[in-house]
Amino acid sequence: MTKRIFFSVGEPSGDQHAGRLIRHLHQNYPEIEACGFGGPAMAAAGCRLELDLTQHAVVGLLEVLPKLRDFFKFADQAEAIFKSGQIDAVVLVDFPGFNWHIAKRARRYGIPVYYYCPPQLWAWGGWRVRKMKRLVDHVLSVLPIEQEYFTKHGIESTFVGHPFFDAVLESQLDQQALNRFNGDAAKNQQLVAVLPGSRTHEVHRTWPIMLEAIRRLAASHPNAKFLVAAYRDRHCLWCKQQLTEADSELPIEFYVDRTSEVIEAARCAMMVSGSVSLELLARRTPASVTYRVGRLLYAFARLVVRLDSITLPNLMSDRKVFPEFVSVGSTEPAIEFFHESTAAFLKDDFYFEQTMQRMNSLCHQFAGGGATEKAANWIAEAVNVKKLDRGMESLRRDAA
């Protein structure tokens, strides 16, 4: 009997994770059909897309307010689908501001709600845990700290692992680009990956800091070469435009859509805090991490943020693996942080090897992959669908 699962996914990264999950479900549980709100990765995996919600991804109150009417209209659209009685379960992926409304509409019709890649309530916004308990039946946690947090608050939760590690294991690197980078490394050049962020405001806030750090590092480490991996073409162009005539001799190159290859080839990295830190961990590339915030947001964060780290690998460990720094006010402390911490990775072999050992230990614990399969198996069991018996399927095909 066919089971229909409605997915609601609003972020490009969530679209990738959900797409991988849907593909696994379709391959192993053919009785399951996927539909809902998401993006191109989900559509490519066979999900019937009712709305490309990733085109409406927003960050912060100022971006949300102009689109409030649209989001309520989207929630009404989802409710009409729920009202039809054809949906057996709802799977939410991140994007909590909107997905709370989807969960609320699903509850009206008695549809079970499962949260995959849940919002980081354990880090900030803990007051929302009551909403999670009221609206969500089960959380598929991607970090150990999440599973502990939700269980502590009386919310059923299962730790499946982080799908980002699956993405790294399944990724196909551009061998030509990788060979070119490795060729530079063979010439006794120390490659430094520079990751200025995936959001425009992150790039604009942090790239000038990174650029000044690069200038200082180039002067003190003549063998260093800096590979800037931009997320979008427009980000790459803006970063290039910030260079001056005096920077014409800097050993710096810019790339788009080559983040994985740059990370794989580099000795170390400078980065804006984000989930890409998990790829750095999986590829064993140590990084210096910063995040720049305004004074008002920083003051607010000090009241609500419950953790002393901004980096996911650090939150997965009992000690800090990556050096990190929150930048507020003057940019000089952040510039010096990048300069000193990156220089340590380049010149201090003992410190570098220590960091590598900690990363290897974490990878052994968490980076083995399998999160997508565990999540798919849990969801299929929850909706009472059995896994495809490939032996029987083969016999049926032969008989036909």
Residue 377 has a pLDDT of: 97
Handedness of CA 256, 260, 261, 262 (dihedral sign): positive
Q: What is the CATH number of domain 174-366?
A: 3.40.50.2000
Per-residue pLDDT of 280-326, as tens digits, reads 999 999 999 998 876 675 555 555 455 567 788 988 887 889 999 98
Residue 392 has a pLDDT of: 46
Residue 297 has a pLDDT of: 56
CA distance 124 to 117: 15
Residue 121 has a pLDDT of: 80
| Residue type (1 letter), 2 | T
The continuous run of DSSP H or E covering 79 comes out as helix 68-83
Per-residue pLDDT of 79-130, as tens digits, reads 999 999 999 999 999 888 899 999 999 999 999 999 999 988 876 666 789 9
Residue 60: pLDDT over 50: no
Do 3-161+370-399 and 174-366 share a fold?
Answer: yes
With 0-12 CB in 10 A as exposed, 13-18 as middle and 19+ as buried, what is 124?
middle
* Token representation of residue 381: 């069991």
Q: Is 368 helix (H, G, I), strand (E, B) or coil?
A: coil
Average pLDDT over residues 379-387: 94
Residue 12 has a pLDDT of: 82
> Could you tell me the pLDDT band of residue 65, with boundaries at 50, 70 and 90?
low
Looking at 3.40.50.1980, 3.40.50.2000, 3.40.640.10, 3.30.300.30, the CATH number of the domain 3-161+370-399 comes to: 3.40.50.2000
Would you say 315 and 143 are in contact if contact means Cβ atoms under 8 Å apart?
yes
Residue 247: pLDDT over 90: yes
Average pLDDT over residues 222-239: 95
Q: What percent of the chain has pLDDT over 90?
A: 67
CA geometry: angle 91, 9, 128, nearest 5 deg: 75
Q: Which residue has the higher pLDDT, 160 or 297?
A: 160
Residue 395: pLDDT over 80: no
Residue 141 bridge partners (DSSP): 159
Average pLDDT over residues 195-201: 88
Residue 93 has a pLDDT of: 96
Per domain, the residue ranges of the chain are: 3-161+370-399, 174-366
Residue 61 has a pLDDT of: 43
* Token representation of residue 179: 């060979």
* pTM exceeds cut of 0.85: no
